[in-house]
Amino acid sequence: MVMIEGMLITGGITLSYWINYGMSFIGDKEVAWRFPLAFQIVFAIIIFCSILNLPESPRWLVMQGRNDEALEILECLNEKSRDDPYIKNELIAIQETVTEMNKGSYRSLFKMSEYREFHRVALAYVNQMFQQISGINLITYYAPQLYAEIGLAKGNLPKLLAACNGTEYLLAAFIPIYIIEKAGRRPLMLFGAAGMSLSMAVLAGTNYRLTVLNDSRAGIGQAVFLFVFNTFFAIGWLGMTWLYPAEIVPLRIRAPTNALATSANWIFNFMVVMITPVAFENIGYKTYVIFAVINAFMFPCVYFFFPETRYRSLEEMDAIFKKSTNVFNAVTLSIKEPYRYDKHGELKPEYLEEAVRRVSAADVHVAGAKFDSDESGIEAKA
């Protein structure tokens, strides 16, 4: 679902490119800039109307003490009866996690307890930062200008190429939706970083030939690799930075961690957008070299420090980081530790038996508490 969100982001970018291209035929009339601004309110209205029908999070309902409603949501999400051991175990696991979450605070983000909170917060923050310093917004924000500067400035051609680039970007964003669970998080991030580094290196070379050696044919290669870069980014990093931070941190600090990580996204977005024009003006093709090096640096960082979260619940990630003793072995543990859930999200039989025992123990505890309460009532009457 999170990867679909990433795809929808590219859908919005693509739509804006095509509207911009269409409005370019109007000329200097006010509607050319007023309509694109006003059109955005349509989506705000759609969100406002549809959000009323969204169900609450089971974890939030448990936090509010509304366990029956949480069970109803879990029933609908899993298409199982509330008497099913899987549903009961899920509720118990959520209750235990919520109890832990209530112990959390903003200070917890910077602690290094047995669950290594600060380690995980740093991973979430760096993950968002990497997305932006990869150079994606160098292309997203300045695509028409980039196409114009490589000799493709005839009429509305730069805006048309930018719109086509956005369309290809949107199509590439569908790929991770279908392969994210099969491939895993780490392989996609590694694939994306390697591809983006290679693309930036080629862009540096073609831009050098174009601007220094005056080889006009290099402009075609540069135009092509602006498309190629977006493809690698869409597959490896577009939606990943919204998915991974939510999977890597414990529930008790997930909300503040995601807020902090999102701040990294916009801080470094702002930085890249502001320095790009200045960089091209002063160092030219070397701007691409810088981003090629940054993306190459991202590859070993992901390989050595970013644990795999595929098929892992939040509770499993807690257990993995609890066993971790340093920043390096979390990756190994995430790969070697047994999985509690299969590829369909079903609890494995060996853990299902344990879940049944937990549910039975919980039922006995509740029944015992009720019996004690009844006895107290009888004694009071006596």
Which of 60-64, 153-157, 231-235 has the highest average model confidence (pLDDT)? 231-235
Q: What is the pLDDT of residue 104?
A: 66
CA–CA distance, 245 with 126 (Å, rounded to integer): 9
Question: What does the buried/exposed string (b/e) look like for 260-280 if buried means 16 or more CB atoms within 10 Å of the residue's CB?
Answer: bbbebbeebbeebeeebeebb
Q: Is 341 helix (H, G, I), strand (E, B) or coil?
A: strand
pLDDT of 380 strictly over 50: no
Contact 236, 3 (CB under 8 A): no
Predicted confidence band of residue 357 (pLDDT cuts 50, 70, 90) = low
Of the candidates 298, 52, 311, 42, which has an alpha carbon nearest to the alpha carbon of residue 193? 298
Categorize the per-residue pLDDT at 82 as very low, low, confident or very high, splitting at 50, 70 and 90: confident
Which residues, 6 or more positions from 363, have their beta carbon under 8 angstroms from its beta carbon? none
Grade residue 359 by pLDDT with cuts at 50, 70 and 90.
low
Q: What is the mean pLDDT of residues 133-160?
A: 88
The predicted pLDDT at position 360 comes to 60
Residue 263 pLDDT level (bands cut at 50, 70, 90): very high
Domain ranges of the chain: 2-53+109-321
- Of 44, 38, 39, nearest to 15 by C-alpha is 39
Least confident residue range of 11-25, 223-237, 254-268, 348-362: 348-362
Closest by CA to 342, choosing from 361, 316, 323, is 316
Instruction: Give the model's pLDDT for residue 361.
Output: 57
199 or 94: whose pLDDT is higher?
Answer: 199
Q: Determine contact, residues 210/150, Cβ cutoff 8 Å.
A: yes
Give me the residue label for tokens 């895993």. 184
pLDDT in tens, 177-202: 999 999 999 999 999 999 999 999 99
Q: What percent of the chain has pLDDT over 70?
A: 91
Contacts 24+ apart (CB under 8 A), 215-223: 216/151, 219/150, 219/151, 219/152, 222/146, 222/150, 223/147, 223/150, 223/152, 223/161
Query: Contacts from 350-356 at CB under 8 Å and sequence distance 24+?
Result: 352/85, 352/86, 352/89, 355/85, 355/86, 355/88, 355/89, 356/85, 356/89
C-alpha dist (Å) from residue 254 to 93, 101, 215, 299, 316: 16, 9, 51, 25, 15
pLDDT value at 230 more than 90 = yes
pLDDT score, position 64: 87
Cα–Cα dist 153/162, whole Å: 12
Q: What's the CA gap between 39 and 37, in Å, rounded? A: 6
Find, among 240, 242, 235, the residue nearest to 174 by Cα. Answer: 235
**156 and 32 Cβ atoms separated by less than 8 Å:** no
pLDDT tens across 364-375, in order?
444 444 434 444
Chain-wide mean pLDDT for the chain? 87
Runs of H (alpha helix) within the chain: 2-23, 31-39, 41-50, 58-63, 67-78, 85-101, 117-133, 136-149, 157-183, 185-211, 218-236, 240-248, 254-283, 286-305, 314-323, 329-336, 349-381
What region, left, alpha or beta, does residue 284 occupy, with left being phi > 0 and alpha being psi -120 to 50 degrees? left
Give the model's pLDDT for residue 352.
66
Q: Are 225 and 237 in contact (CB under 8 A)?
A: no
**pTM value?**
0.83
- What pLDDT score was predicted for residue 358? 57
Joined together, the tokens standing for residue 379 give 């004694």
Give the CATH number of domain 2-53+109-321. 1.20.1250.20
